[in-house]
Amino acid sequence: MPTSQFIFLLLLLLIQGQTMAVTEQADEKCMPTRCRNHGPTIRFPFRIKGHQPEHCGYPGFDLSCTDQSKHPVLELPFSVNVSVNKINYTSQTIYVSKPHGCFPRLFPNLSLISPFQFTIDYDYQFHNYRHNYYKEFGFLNCSKSQLPPGERGYYGIQIACLGDKVYARSSFRALQLPCRKMYDMTLTQDILDNRTFGILPLNWTKPTCGNCEAGGKYCRLKNNSREHETECFDKPKLPTKDLIWKLKVAGLVLVLSLFVVAVVAIYLVYRSSKNKERGSSEDYKIFGGLRSSQAVKILLCRY
């Protein structure tokens, strides 16, 4: 085989090997992971910001692993950080908590610009909505009212973390007492029934990956999609320790093999160059000697 063809095949092998390595590395970075051993599994549409490429997640679903929280941290609009205690990928629901915080204080910030809203509680497995439904509640500050403590239920549901006399009341219920309306929110009754607000369920509707999860598959972004379209795909097999060891050995063997091939290629190029130089030298000796003898004969003939 000519040396040039051999070098071309060597370069082709190196490029192919590098491409496969990059592809495997990218797929490995998008594998399900955790921030802590007992934390929720993190996979698409979520990704760990700063540790996984952007294509591993969906815009707005970036999580952070911090030393201050044992759970991954999600940043909501207006720089509101919450801890993600649990993720249900089938119902597309996250259960978040805010240490030393008050969730009702954050309700106005959960606007339409956030991909996470109060849970609709949709069951993807049976394709129906559960009993949860929305109602409009007005949050009232009744600090100037003098209603006895035993009758405070008249105001509505007390929200203690907002104040001793702050209540949530159905907007359609008329209230004659002097209370100042803080804001209106459309919520589910279940959220207000949990008055401690320790864990708050939020759901996302886009991307729609619950059908993939219900079918025993995972979800991901389509390749070369500009509209952030998603697709279902079979769950990847998580590498075992034995498989990881075998892959490392195979990678080492591949590197050594390529090194040997490169050394052989360099040697062949060097030997080919030396052979050409040796051939040129011998040709010069032969043909150069002939030219000299012919010149002597021409001079003798002249005399």
**In the structure, what pLDDT confidence band is assigned to residue 74 with cuts at 50, 70 and 90?**
very high
pLDDT of 267 higher than 80? no
Please indicate whether residue 264 or residue 209 has the higher confidence score (pLDDT).
209
Would you list the DSSP string of 196-211?
A: T-SSEEEE--SS--HH
In percent, the amount of the chain with pLDDT more than 90 equals 22
How do residues 107-131 score in pLDDT, each as one tens digit?
A: 776 665 678 887 654 444 444 444 4
**How does pLDDT run across 27-73, given as a tens digit for each residue?**
678 999 999 888 899 999 999 999 999 999 999 999 999 888 889 99
Distance from C-alpha of 172 to C-alpha of 175, rounded to nearest angstrom: 9
**Confidence band for 92, pLDDT divided at 50, 70 and 90:** very high
How many residues are there in the chain?
303
In whole angstroms, give the CA distance from residue 96 to residue 181.
Answer: 27
The values of phi and psi at residue 33, to 5°, are -145, 180
Query: Is residue 12 predicted with pLDDT exceeding 70?
Result: no
With beta carbons less than 8 A apart as the criterion, state whether 251 and 258 touch. no
The tens digit of pLDDT for each residue in 134-181 reads: 678 888 888 877 665 555 556 678 887 787 788 888 765 666 667 888
pLDDT of residue 47: 95
The answer on pLDDT for 240 being more than 60 is no
Per-residue model confidence (pLDDT) at position 289: 54
Place of tokens 């509640």: 137
With bands split at pLDDT 50, 70 and 90, how would you rate the model's confidence at 259? confident
Non-local (6+) Cβ contacts of 236 within 8 A are 27, 31, 218
Tokens in use for 292? 């000299």
Structure-derived torsion over alpha carbons of residues 231, 212, 239, 33, reported in degrees to the nearest 10: 90
CA–centroid distance for 245 within its chain: 25
